[in-house]
């Protein structure tokens, strides 16, 4: 027995057990971060707040503003854009736009999402905001709204500028907002496509993010490279109901960048899982609205009711407490009307704000009169 113990101790000294938390990730990156997208839980980070050049990862913010403009009706997917001289003169990665050329918003967006076209993103920026300067102001305002603290944009494409910078954490926060728009992922996951397919100026688009093809589950988001920035990437992948986002900045080569991002994704999917403790958002019940055009409304949580846990951890027993304020019309989706507290084995682990699932207008005199008549009729029928 003593010999066995001595041999075992010798083995552990020579080959110590490696815990998942001790894994070395993104060792060659200047900065990196890995998160679960729905909760924002950080699984790994390294110099995540260091200000660095983001290169073409900048286009994530541009794509966010463009998709929001489309969803808000400011521009349309099939709208035809006439390319300006400013857009066609852009250097770096491009889709070879010519001054005066006409192309749809959809095809220009493909040029940004797949081929990282600087000319395409400038053409869209001018379409959304009227000018590049106006668009850059929108980018910085949106950055403030998202709570980015180490970001300043000087252009929509990411070509180096001394005062154009961001951080891994801020890039991740943009990515978390961007993946909420599933339409974007339809384009960022395309590995190859064509523009001007039936013309003599046909161009083959190949995704700058090779992981879209070579890593199962990756469907975005954006690569980047300049001499000052080095090789950068924000990648997102979804498996088994969990979406993760990995960011690396300042890598030495594209090969190292792809390898280190792949290792970060491997780690996330091997070690973690997502548990949704409230599968049906509409299961919290209906509540009466005082003076509402509609008498009852459902309340729902603001945000996901997901938990991220190590796969090695045992699941607990989950329950929740609901506190809803007195509801009085008018109400709008997003208004805070109460709180949802989630418990695991009687321990509070999450508190979310509650809102209504639809807008409720204030009832007028006729609405209230008809409701009272209806209540009286129903009451009399019950007595009979």
Please confirm, yes or no, whether 167 is among the known catalytic residues: no
The H or E element spanning position 382 is helix 365-383
d(CA 167, CA 136) in angstroms, rounded, equals: 18
Q: Which helix (H) or strand (E) holds 322?
A: strand 318-324
Task: Based on the residue annotation, tell me whether 116 is a catalytic residue of this protein.
Answer: yes
* Cβ contacts of 363 within 8 Å, gap of 6 or more: 291, 292, 293, 329, 371
Residue among 132, 172, 240 at smallest CA distance from 35: 172
Q: Which of 93, 116, 166, 168 is catalytic?
A: 116
Of the listed 56, 62, 93, 168, which one is catalytic?
A: 56
Beta bridge partners of 309: 273
Residue 34 pairs in a beta bridge with 44, 246
Residues in the chain: 384
DSSP label of 53? -
User: Which residue has 């010798």 as its token pair?
Assistant: 10
User: Is residue 59 flagged as an active site residue?
Assistant: yes
Note whether 320 and 277 are within 8 A (CB): yes
**What values do phi and psi take at 242, rounded to 5?**
-120, 130
Q: Which sign, positive or negative, has the C-alpha torsion 251, 133, 145, 79? A: negative
Three-state DSSP at 32 gives strand
- What's the rounded Cα separation, in Å, for the pair 22 and 379? 68
Cis peptide before 330 (omega within 30 of 0): yes
Question: Considering 30, 59, 154, 222, which one is annotated as catalytic?
Answer: 59
Question: What positions carry a catalytic annotation?
Answer: 56, 59, 116
């Amino acid at each position: 027995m003593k010999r066995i113990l001595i041999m075992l101790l010798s083995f552990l000294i020579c080959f110590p057990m490696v815990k998942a938390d001790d894994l070395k990730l993104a060792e060659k990156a200047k900065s990196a971060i890995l998160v679960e997208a729905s909760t924002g839980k950080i699984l790994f980070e390294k110099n995540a707040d260091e200000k660095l050049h983001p290169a073409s990862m900048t286009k994530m913010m541009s794509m966010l503003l463009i998709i929001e403009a489309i969803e808000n009706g400011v521009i349309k997917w099939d709208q035809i854009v006439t390319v300006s001289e400013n857009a066609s003169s852009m250097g770096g990665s491009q889709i070879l736009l010519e001054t005066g050329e006409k192309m749809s918003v959809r095809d220009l967006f493909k040029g940004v999402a797949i081929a990282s076209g600087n000319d395409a993103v400038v053409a869209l920026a001018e379409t959304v905001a009227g000018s590049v300067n106006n668009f850059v102001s929108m980018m910085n305002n949106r950055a403030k709204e998202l709570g980015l603290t180490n970001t300043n944009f000087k252009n929509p494409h990411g070509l180096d500028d001394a005062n154009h910078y961001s951080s891994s954490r801020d890039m991740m926060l943009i990515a978390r907002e961007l993946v909420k728009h599933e339409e974007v992922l339809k384009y960022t996951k395309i590995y190859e496509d064509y523009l001007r397919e039936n013309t003599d100026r046909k161009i083959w688009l190949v995704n700058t993010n090779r992981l879209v093809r070579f890593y199962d589950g990756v469907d975005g988001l954006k690569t980047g490279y300049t001499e000052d920035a080095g090789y950068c990437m924000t990648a997102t992948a979804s498996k088994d109901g969990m979406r993760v986002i990995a960011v690396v900045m300042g890598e030495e080569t594209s090969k190292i960048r792809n390898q280190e991002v792949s290792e970060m994704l491997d780690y996330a999917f091997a070690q973690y899982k997502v548990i949704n403790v409230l599968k049906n958002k509409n299961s919290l019940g209906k509540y009466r609205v005082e003076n509402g055009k509609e008498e009852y409304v459902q309340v729902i949580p603001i945000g996901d009711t997901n938990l991220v846990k190590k796969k090695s951890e045992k699941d607990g027993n989950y329950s929740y407490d609901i506190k809803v304020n007195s509801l009085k019309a008018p109400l709008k989706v997003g208004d805070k009307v109460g709180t949802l507290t989630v418990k695991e084995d009687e321990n509070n682990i999450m508190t979310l704000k509650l809102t209504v699932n639809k807008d409720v207008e204030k009832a007028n005199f006729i609405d209230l009169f008809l409701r009272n008549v209806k209540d009286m009729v129903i009451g009399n029928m019950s007595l009979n």
